């Protein structure tokens, strides 16, 4: 995923009300940026850290910038929760994730039951529903999800189990937008119910794939698959 225009550099003053962040640009101007990440952003939130923003030209939007990434311990971490869906769609369409290659049709935002999944893919042999989650939390060598309790995430796992029971392929795809982790696992201490639901989903046949992305101010690209510990 290549950024269509040059990002704007600044430093984080503070994040507040979950969806807002005060940023000081390099020219000393202070602006308010939209933060798409509704979670706690634990382990990727540090006042005074370098950030990059995307400018927004929609006259109807109150905030004129979207917060894309933050630099923590020398590593860029992608915090825009919309980007993993774009990354996944591009990769699955291009067949660059081996486990999800070979589909002739790939669509975004497809309904199943009372849930809307991020990606639907099919070929002559199978139909596949894929839910995509953004991962930014780190503990030691582990990339963890979620960073706050997610009832919606539990619902997605339940519906993926229903997809599998209906005879279709069901995949939970975690996109890790940081390069300093080695293993993916559920954040049991933060949301034990989500961890339980993930284990039940695996038992039911839902596939778990964790892909690590390299984040830079020019582009974000998937670079490797991480092992998963449930």
Residue 200 has what pLDDT?
Answer: 98
pLDDT for the residue 61: 87
Asked if residue 146 lies in contact with residue 153, where contact means CB atoms within 8 angstroms, the answer is yes
Model pLDDT, residue 60 = 86
Tell me how crowded residue 205 is: count the other CB atoms within 10 A of its CB.
13
pTM reported for the whole predicted model: 0.95
pLDDT of residue 114: 83
Question: How far is Cα 178 from Cα 173, in angstroms, rounded to an integer?
Answer: 15
Task: Look up residue 202 and give its two tokens.
Answer: 């695996």
pLDDT in tens, 119-134: 999 999 999 999 999 9
CA 84 to chain centre: 4
- Which of 190, 187, 176 lies closest to 227 in space, CA to CA? 176
Give the CA-trace dihedral at 74, 35, 52, 43, to 10 degrees: 0
What is the per-residue pLDDT across 40-56, written as a single tens digit (0 to 9) for each? 999 999 999 999 999 99
- Which strands sit side by side in the sheet containing 183-186, from one edge to the other? 137-139, 142-145, 183-186
The Cα–Cα gap between 58 and 215 comes to: 25
Domains, the chain: 8-77 (2.40.50.580), 83-226 (3.40.1350.60)
pLDDT in tens, 70-109: 999 999 999 999 999 999 999 999 999 999 999 999 999 9
Indicate the DSSP class of residue 56: -
Tens of pLDDT, residues 159-213: 999 999 999 999 999 999 999 999 999 999 999 999 999 999 999 999 999 999 9
Contact 34, 19 (CB under 8 A): yes
| CA–CA distance, 11 with 1 (Å, rounded to integer) | 23
């Amino acid at each position: 995923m290549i950024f269509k225009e040059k990002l704007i550099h600044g430093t984080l003053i503070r994040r507040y009300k979950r969806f807002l962040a005060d940023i000081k640009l390099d020219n000393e101007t202070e602006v308010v940026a939209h933060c798409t990440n509704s979670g706690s952003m634990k382990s990727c939130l540090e006042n005074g850290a370098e950030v990059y923003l995307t400018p927004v030209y929609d006259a109807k939007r109150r905030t004129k910038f979207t917060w894309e990434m933050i630099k923590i311990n020398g590593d860029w971490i992608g915090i825009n929760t919309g980007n993993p869906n774009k990354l996944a769609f591009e990769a699955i369409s291009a067949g660059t994730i081996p486990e999800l290659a070979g589909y002739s049709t790939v669509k975004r935002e497809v309904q199943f039951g009372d849930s809307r999944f991020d990606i639907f893919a099919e070929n002559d042999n199978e139909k596949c529903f894929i839910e995509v989650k953004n991962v930014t939390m780190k503990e030691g060598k582990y990339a963890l999800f979620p960073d706050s309790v997610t009832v919606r995430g539990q619902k997605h796992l339940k519906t993926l189990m229903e997809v599998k029971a209906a005879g279709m392929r069901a995949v939970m795809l975690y996109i890790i937008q940081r390069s300093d982790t080695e293993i993916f696992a559920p954040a049991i201490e933060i949301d034990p119910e989500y961890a339980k639901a993930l284990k039940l989903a695996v038992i039911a046949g839902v596939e778990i794939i964790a892909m690590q992305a390299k984040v830079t101010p020019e582009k974000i690209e998937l670079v490797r698959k991480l092992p998963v510990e449930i």
